[in-house]
Structure formats: C-alpha cells, structure tokens
Chains A and B, each alone.
Chain A
Amino acid sequence: MSPAKKNASAHKPKVRLSIVVMTVYLLFLLVPIYWLVIMSFKSNSEILGMFTLFPADFTLKNYQTILSDPSWYMGYVNSFIYVSLNTVISLSVALPAAYAFSRYRFFGDNHLFFWLLTNRMAPPAVFALPFFQLYSSVSLFDTHIAVALAHCLFNVPLAVWILEGFMRGVPREIDETAFIDGYGFTRFFTKIFVPMIAPGIGVTAFFCFMFSWVELLLSRTLTSVEAKPITAIMTRTVSASGLDWGVLAAAGVLTIIPGAIVIYFVRNHIAKGFALGRV
C-alpha cells in the first residue's frame, strides 16, 4: 500500500504538467476555429466596425445567404457528389488489390506497392495542367466524374495501404477454412471477408472522403461552373467581391461540420488511417 501511495504522490506534479500542456495545446487549436465560428454569426458591419469577442448582434443572416443562393449551396452538393463517387470508386478497386497484397506474393509485388505510394506522394501541382488537358480532350472537363477520377490519384493508393494494414490482422486460417468448406472466391470475399474487416472499410472510406473533401487545387482546376466545389467558390469570393467576411466565415464553418461529425465514430482508428495502416 505504502509504496503505491508514495509512487502516486511522486507522479502528481507530472500529471499536472501534462494537463497544462494539453490545455495550452487545445486552446491553440481551438481559438482560431472559435474566431471563425464567432465571425459567422456577426453582421459585416460588426466585423469591420467593432472588435467583439462575442457577437453583440447575433445573426443567422450569413447562413441564410448561403442556404438560399444556389450558386453557394450547389457548391456543397457538387462537393458531396464527387467526394462520394471518389470514395465508391477507390474502395471498389482497392479492396481486391489490398487482399492480393496482404495474402499473396506475386511477380513485382513490392515494386508495385512502392509505386502506389509514390502516387500518394506526387504533388497535385504537377498534375494540375496535364489533368486539365486530359479531361478536356475526353470532354469530361467540368464534370463530377472528372474530379472523382483525378482524386483517385492519391486516394486509391491510400485506400490500398490502409486496407492492407487491416487485412493483415485477419488470420489466414479463415480464408483457408472457407475455401475448404467450398466457398468460391467471390462468395467468400463478399459474404465472409468484407463483413470481417468492416471497421477497416469504414475507416478507409472516411479517409477517402476526407482527403477528397479537403483538396482544392485539382478540383478547382478541373471545374468551371457545373461541378464547382464549395472550396473553390470560397476562394473566388475572397479574391473577387468586396469581401463579405461574415458569409465567408459561415461557408467555412459549413465545410468543417461534416468532418467534425464523422470523426467521432473513427476517433480510435484515425491514427491507423493516417499511418497508412501501419500502426
């Protein structure tokens, strides 16, 4: 009893230090976000005229502007369409490939795996111009599918890597037992294997969704009107009009919300996803 007690008291100052570190760090993270959120509830004259830590004149007008103007809210719709398309495409091609990498050795597998990684590492700026020309030449410019395909450049490798990490954790005996029981590959894969790694698929989908959602350069280059994402609409507002700060802030807040909601469900797997499935 007494050594444990002594130990606890010896640890106390350290615990306090860690609380201080965490508090300062979280404050550092949250204050800029707080400022954006607060600004979205202020009128433009309050933002420019007064300096208030809390909206003196609480207004929802900025959100109203966005949600009632198609040129604003269609940006969210467009983003959702290409992001969902991209997630579906990435997952459906990555699942079989990740299975192959996690279960078999085959000619050139390591080189292929590294080559996939290099695509994750390729700067989007390098691909902006060729993508623009490629998708223009097959008349896909300014369509949702063009952006979805372009984002596959980094999302498919990411999906393969994360899924491979999760699949390695499933014992091979399960595959073998299923094959002995007379399951064909397709039936085994869809009926047994996919449900078993469902959490992994969920996390991968989350990461595909997220990286497609936050990307701006490619989606802006590949769209003009019909498929313009919300992030590109925002930058146009920054540069062109007389800077409606309140609306800009509200638009920003609305782009954070989807991620903020989903993150709660994947909080325990997020590190594994960022580590490309390697934790």
Chain B
Amino acid sequence: MEKTVNQRAWFLVIPVLILVAFSSIIPMMTVVNYSFQDTFGGNDFFWVGLEWYRELLHSERLWDAFGRQLLFSSIILLIEVPLGILVALSMPKKGITASICLVLMSLPLLIPYNVVGTIWQVFGRADIGLLGRALSDLGISYNYSQNAFDAWATVIAMDVWHWTSLVALLCYAGLRSIPNAYYQAAMIDQASRWSVFRFIELPKMRGVLMIAILLRFMDSFMIYTEPFVLTGGGPGNTTTFLSIDLVKMALGQFDLGPAAAFSLMYFLVILLISYVFYTVMITADKDEAQS
C-alpha cells in the first residue's frame, strides 16, 4: 500500500513526542550530565571529563557483569527458541483445545515479574518447595542460594518457564498463516516431515522468529526483577547481571557519576544491537512484500 506524503501528519505525532521526550530525553540528559561530573555530596559538582568511562572500562566488576549477562542471554536464547518452535509445532490447530492451550500458555507472561521470582523462590526451596524437596529426595544436593551452579540453573529454568510461551505464541501465529495448499503440495511430493519443516514452515516463520529473538534478547539483556527477587544477585556476585549491578551502584551506593556512565554504555550497547535487529527485520518485511 503506497503512503502519501503529508507533512501535516507531524501534528498527529506531536503528543507522543512531547510525552516521550518528557519521560525519555530529559532523564537521559540528566544521566549524560552526571556521567561527566563528580560530587562530594550536596550540590557541588565538578567536571571530570571522561574519567568515569575510563575507570569503568577497566573495571573488572563491569566486565564480569557484562560477561555473565551475555552468557545468560545466549543460554536462554539457545533453549527458548528451539523449544518455542517445538511447542508451536505441537500445538493443536483449532477447536477448544487450541483455546485452552493458548490461555494456559499465556499465563506465565502475565504474572508480575517479582511474583515470578517469588514463585520460583518458593518452588525451589529445599524445605517448603516442591522442586527443592523432590530433588533432595532424589539425593541431589540442590540449594540455589548457596551454590552458584544451582542458582544459575534456577534462574535459567525460571526464564525458560516465564518466556518460552512468547516464542511459541509468535511461531504459532506464523504457522497459522501458511496456506493449506503448501502442505498439500508437500504431501503430493511425499516430502518428509523434516523437509516440510525446513522448506515450508521455517521460511514462513522467519519474520516472527526475528521478532521473537529480538524481544527475548532485549528483555533478557535488561532482566532485573526476577533474579533480584530469586537470588538477590548471589551467591556472591554470581547472578549479578547488568541491571542488578547498575541499580546497586545508582540507588544503593548512590555513585552518581559511575552509574551514569555505566547507564550510557549499557544503553548504547542495546541501541546498537536493536538497530541491527531492526534493520534485519525491515529488510525481511520488504522481502516478504516482494515474494
């Protein structure tokens, strides 16, 4: 559909601009301001230039948190994307069972983040939780608040539990848009289940899969509440991801300068990656429009 050029459309966008400017640009400017200054308390600020950035780039704490964050995001993507596709392929196509599955699957997506943390906190405890109790009855020593590996396993299981349905729902929506004729053609060709998936379903799911990966990457990259409630970033610092570290720095220790510099670098990383994803997404859109 061809859009017409109309500069007056700007008037329709102005309310959004004002609102988002208020809630995004002004706070962002505060952050930029702090990142170049230091204070001895009160309102005495003085200019320190790039000092905070230099310090942070050499800070082991930041790089460790960044490494943990990357590892976490990669692991959950590697689990959630294939699992989501598998679930989407297994979902009933229509009828009451499809509705029930949709509703039940969406349930974890609508639970407040800290309640998700609470659910798993309770669920995993060895004394009162079903999971913790079952594992210890099986003779597996499991304690997510003491053992780093258990903490990681629990945080990852929690994220898989929380968000796999998102990937599955998007893939399911993509699958349903495939016309039946494609499957009939495949049947005539006696195509195997694998080639149906590889040559019909996967290409048709590409667009939604891109969105799913984009969303999952971004949201996992800024995950805060769930691990904060579950482990508080511990044991030690083993599950301290970037957002947890940042909040600790900004609101806990009130280190305005470093926290601000941290924020900006954090935001720039996300911006860069989301720009790459966005470009890929738009190109995919165009390809689809042409074919």
Contact = CB atoms under 8 A, between A and B. Distances in A.
Interface of A: 7, 14, 17-19, 21-22, 25-26, 28-33, 35-36, 39, 47-48, 51, 53, 89, 92-94, 96-97, 99-101, 103-107, 109, 112, 114, 116-134, 149-150, 152-153, 156-157, 160, 168, 172, 210, 213-217, 221, 231, 234-235, 238, 245, 248-249, 252, 255-256, 259-260, 263-264, 267-268, 270-272, 274-276, 278-279
A33 B107 contact: yes
A153 B247 contact: no
Contacts of B174: 279
Nearest to A126: B263
B16 A97 contact: yes
Contacts of A267: 99, 102-103, 106
Interface string B254-291: 00100110010011001100110010010001000000
Nearest to A51: B133
Interface in B199-230: 207-208, 211-212, 215, 218, 221-222, 224-225, 229
Contacts of A92: 15
B31 interface: yes
B187 interface: yes
Interface string B112-137: 11110011111100011111010000
A51 B131 CA distance: 12
Contact of A106 (B9, B89, B91, B193): B9
B12 A134 contact: no
B242 to A, nearest CB: 8
Can you list the 6 inter-chain pairs with the closest CB atoms, starting with the nearest? A259-B110, A130-B27, A123-B222, A271-B173, A18-B90, A100-B12
A28 to B, nearest CB: 7
Interface residues of B, number: 101
B211 A125 contact: no
A100 B23 contact: no
B87 interface: yes
B13 A221 contact: no
Given A104-B5, A105-B6, A123-B270, A245 B128 contact: yes
Contact of B170 (A117, A120, A279): A279
A122 B24 contact: yes
Contact of A274 (B1, B166, B275): B166
Contacts of B251: 128-129, 132, 221
B243 A125 contact: yes
Contacts of A96: 12-13, 15
Contacts of A278: 207-208, 211, 281, 285
B62 interface: no
Contacts of A93: 15-16, 19
B9 A270 contact: no
B22 interface: yes
B74 to A, nearest CB: 18
Contacts of A217: 224-225, 243, 247
A255 B112 contact: yes
B161 A234 contact: no
Contacts of A107: 7, 10
Contacts of A134: 26-27, 30
Nearest to A229: B112
Contacts, number: 285
B170 A275 contact: yes
Contact of A210 (B9, B110, B128): B110
Contact of A263 (B16, B87, B103, B121): B103
Given A14-B193, A33-B119, A103-B3, A22 B16 contact: no
B119 A35 contact: yes
B247 A125 contact: yes
Contacts of B115: 231, 234, 252, 255-256
7 contacts: A29-B161, A106-B9, A127-B24, A128-B247, A129-B259, A234-B115, A256-B115
Contacts of B90: 17-19, 21-22, 25
A268 B105 CA distance: 12
A22 B87 contact: yes
B170 to A, nearest CB: 5
A18 B193 CA distance: 13
A59 to B, nearest CB: 16
A94 B270 contact: no
Interface in B82-109: 86-87, 89-92, 99, 101-109
Nearest to A14: B193
Nearest to A157: B20
A44 B14 CA distance: 54
A136 to B, nearest CB: 12
B215 A274 contact: yes
